[in-house]
Structure 1
Amino acid sequence: MSAHAAVARRATIKDVARRAGVSMMTVSRVLNREAFVADATRATVERAIRDLNYVPNSAAKALALTRHAHRIAFLFDTPNATILGDMVSAVLEEPARPEIRLTFMRVRGDADLGATVEALGNQGVQGVVLSPPLCDDVRLRIVLARAGIRFVAAGCSDVDPGFSAIGIDDRRAAHELTRYLLELGHRRIGLIAGHARHRSSTRRRAGFEEALRIFDMSPDDRLCWQGDYSFGTAIGIAEQALSMEPPLTAIFASNDDMAAAVISVARGRGIAVPRVLSVCGFDDSEIARMMSPQITTVSQPLGAMAAWAVAQLAGELDAVAQGEEPVIRKVLLEHSIAYRGSDAPPPGIDAVPASSSERQTR
């Protein structure tokens, strides 16, 4: 994108990050004058800001300068950089409240949670937003609660009344997409599940198996593989899945990165997608739109979830500061199916499901 084009529509933090060749979090650190940014990187970002005439909104400036602010940490450990980018972009571009100071911290799945809480305390963090998949980590929730750190979960449909959360119905979404594949005529459908520790993976598998039973099919463990939501792990799984006899005609991956891995392996084996193999994903992240063919997937508004979570947490911290009991909220958003080019009836079947006329294309 040229500097002229970005200025014409008001440059965003995403434009700056793309031009500087860094992450949006790095741009945020430069804007907030945080330490631990290399001088060369800082200079590159500042040059991109000047070239694009990027001006943070006044609330964002206040967020960076306010001393008496609610300190909120956005915790992440997603192997899917595009999902993280969608969420961070929405949070940073949302008109912010000047009393919020936001920081970002990666918490790996095998991290010492005691050390994580200590690091949060050292930074004066009062509350955290848990992004997927951390929002499903029960151990982390317990440690945070014991340390007196409030949290809100984004991308989570857990009914636990102890914390606020926003998400979609993962089970119903997976059910709808699996049923669509079954209506196309597929009967040899493989599932690549997400990380075993994440409840979203369990719910998506439940929806997948529920759809099979409606079509009088029993779930077959031989056609289900345990993934971890990463592209790299799914490459090996796809090699196994595409070696099955008789061959699979469709694979439902529990996120778009894993679906992209399946398409990559299929292409290397000369398996045409979707003429021979249909592949569907979950999340509607950027990689789903970048692949060829583009991936049919469950679309969920992750950006809106992240922005809501920050605002909700700020409201809860306000209540605590005023000696009031925070209101816990549970929000369930609607999902949609983004029908694209990675699905088709299995070889030898020309029928199109009756519901196809109602398909929504994004």
Structure 2
Amino acid sequence: MAQVKKIFLTLFVVCHSFGCYLHHANIQGDSYGAKGLIFGKEPFFKGTLPVRVEFDTSEKAFVKEYLKRKGHNIDVGDNTIESYFSEEIVAKFRNSKYFTHNSSANMKIRVLSSLEEVKFPVISAIAAIGTLGIFPAITRTYGRIQFELFDSSNNKSIRTFKYSVQHREFLGTSAIVLGSFLPLFSERFDHSTNSRNFAIMRVAFHQFENDLMLELDQDKSLLKKFTSDSNKIYALLPFKTNSNSLKSVEDQLHSELESQFVKSGIEMVERKKLDALLEEIKFSNSGLTASNRITFGKLSNANRIILLEDLVIKDPKTSNQTEIYFTIRCVDVESGKIIWSKLSKYSSSQSNSIDWHIGISAREMIYQLQTSGEI
């Protein structure tokens, strides 16, 4: 038995070094993907839909513990779990010919995923050892991905598309050869150096995209809900300074956030114009009131104000961790309604400069806003 384990471990190390994990994913019931190829129907819908995408990954921590209990204390690897919570789904929306990301879109698409079962190789592992990996060891995973259409104007869920996903991970010397060309012909396949892959999210997205477009062909009332206001103009206000020692850090973080907002496609009030207006109406001294909010909006043409507050930086010299906390919230100029509010909890053990950490914390916040469908 010890010799068998040694052989399999050697096979695993060799295959891993050559990057020979081959993945295949499909929607349950579609004959491993063949049904869509043979009987697939091309949607008649032409055009683009303005949307916001919210990708909820909050279940990720629960899934790991759930699978551990379900498998009688068998630990499922992080890469296997990450495949069902991959940011690839957001990338597919942004690259689709049917969707246009718009921060003012009425329709928000909420994406929720889960990993429900993992079946490790048993018989196939024995065959893999006996054939030196020509017959691969096959790990199977099963999960569920759903896409909810949420009508923001009515604060109502109007349609949900649910898909059961099947995934197979092939580990063996044959995967080196097959993995080099199969992904070129179909996005259902992926080739990687570990258990993490993008094929799962790809097949779920393409099935949803196809099903939604076919439904829009038949239901014109649904199509009318994909609307958007004119692009909003945002004004990012500086921190309300509480300490002179934090002033330079506050300014730098403000600049980093502003730069990241612009890169994400958000239209911002120019910094020089912003500073002049804040000085003119004494905004920073009096705080956000209905009167100065509306006055500021008229003078700057801003529709929304982004406020930065409660900056806390913990000294890495005492804890070997750099921690940056702050709150960021967006307020509608006309109504004063809070559009969204987030808390940054950045923490890193990297021994880089504080400037580097500020830049990363800003990018993390923007990414958080993007994946929650806020911008």
Q: Name the structure, 1 or 2, with higher relative contact order (CA <8 Å, separation 6+).
A: 2
**Please, what TM-score do these two structures have when normalized by structure 2?**
0.23
Q: Which has the larger radius of gyration?
A: 2
Q: Which has the higher strand share?
A: 2
**Please, what TM-score do these two structures have when normalized by structure 1?**
0.24
